[in-house]
Amino acid sequence: MSLQKVTAKKLIEKKNKREKIITITSYDYSFAKIADESGMDLILVGDSLAMVVLGYKNTLLVTMDEMIHHTKAVSKAVTNALVVGDMPFLSYKVNKTEAVKNAGRFIQEGGAEAVKVEGGTEICPIIRSMLEADIQVMGHIGLTPQSIYQFGGFLVQGKTFDAAKKLILDARNLEKTGVFSIVLESIPWQLAKLITSVVKVPTIGIGAGPYCDGQILVIHDMLGIFTEIKPKFVKYFGNIGKSIRKALETYKSEVNQNIYPDQEHSYEFPQDALNDINKWFNSVDIDEESQKLKKHLF
């Protein structure tokens, strides 16, 4: 498959052509390489890293340094997809200067091409500062996991008239500020459909139904690797967790039974040298010889 470099502009063109935008998260080189080669339009180094890779109880605990570390690994693997770094909790809402500096780290150190931030109208001035520093920004509204304490948990958002109205207006304000795309997370599909029709930039849904311009999933969720939490919208497109478990059990059993490693997976010693080493081995005191080597070296 020959793939072309995806840019933010191309994603907007895809929306105009009514072509679906397929996106996924990744956190390391090997997964990102597979995701890129599979034709993903955008790869997000999500702060979901906190839960599915680092084992934290929620996304609020991941730091800038941890996010940059993983963004670097992903960027090295990707040639076609647009790489987006997810700005962690407190890295962009304290003040504009810190926000721009931290966003800049994703680009300069992490090798990302854009950043994602959670929030609506209230963070538009911060987004503007990033755009003024030539950093492309992706928005994220609905269930924004960095606000779970405020929401009272991982709860579906936008289910009342007032909440839905706020999300529609937030989307519009984010678009007007200049984001190139907006993630809609865990909102009713009817509301996601409305928002998608009202903004010119692509909406990327996760738990937001089929009418978004694109979709995103956490790769460890959709592959059945992270199974501790399974929101309604998660579909297992593979059961890699089960395959990994099975492979490890087989490995353990084969080593225990001396089945692995066999000749096929072992290196051969050249026959003439083998005779020499065996002769030498049987003729010396190994402790004495090791002492001699140590003395010789130090």
- Catalytic positions, please? 185
Which is closer to ligand KIV, CB of 154 or CB of 211? 154
The residue nearest ligand KIV at its CB is 46
User: Using CB under 6 A, which of 6, 26, 36, 46 touches ligand KIV?
Assistant: 46
Q: State the DSSP code for 189.
A: H
Verify binding: residue 183, ligand KIV, rule CB under 6 A: yes
Verify binding: residue 68, ligand KIV, rule CB under 6 A: no
Verify binding: residue 47, ligand KIV, rule CB under 6 A: yes
Which is closer to ligand KIV, CB of 77 or CB of 271? 77
Contact between 238 and 57 (Cβ < 8 Å): no
Tell me the closest approach of the beta carbon of residue 47 to ligand KIV, in angstroms. Answer: 4
User: Where do we find the tokens 């002769």?
Assistant: 279
Q: CA Rg, the chain, in Å?
A: 25
* Per-residue b or e along 127-162, where b marks 16 or more CB atoms closer than 10 Å to that residue's CB: bebbbeeebbbbbbbbbbbbeeeeeeeeebbbeeee
Verify binding: residue 25, ligand KIV, rule CB under 6 A: yes
Q: Among residue numbers 206 through 235, which ones bind ligand KIV (CB under 6 A)? A: 206, 216, 218
Which residue stretch of 41-49, 107-115, 162-170, 274-282 sits at the interface with ligand KIV (rule: CB under 6 A)? 41-49
Residue 66's nearest CA partner among 92, 105, 34, 108 is 105
Q: What residues contact residue 19 under an 8 Å CB cut-off, 6+ apart? A: none
Report the Cα–Cα distance between both ends of the chain, in Å, rounded. Answer: 57
Tell me the closest approach of the beta carbon of residue 168 to ligand KIV, in angstroms. Answer: 19
Site string for ligand KIV, 96-115 (x = CB under 6 A): --------------------
Q: What residues contact residue 251 under an 8 Å CB cut-off, 6+ apart? A: 260
Return residues touching ligand KIV (CB under 6 A). 25, 44, 46-48, 86, 183, 185, 206, 216, 218
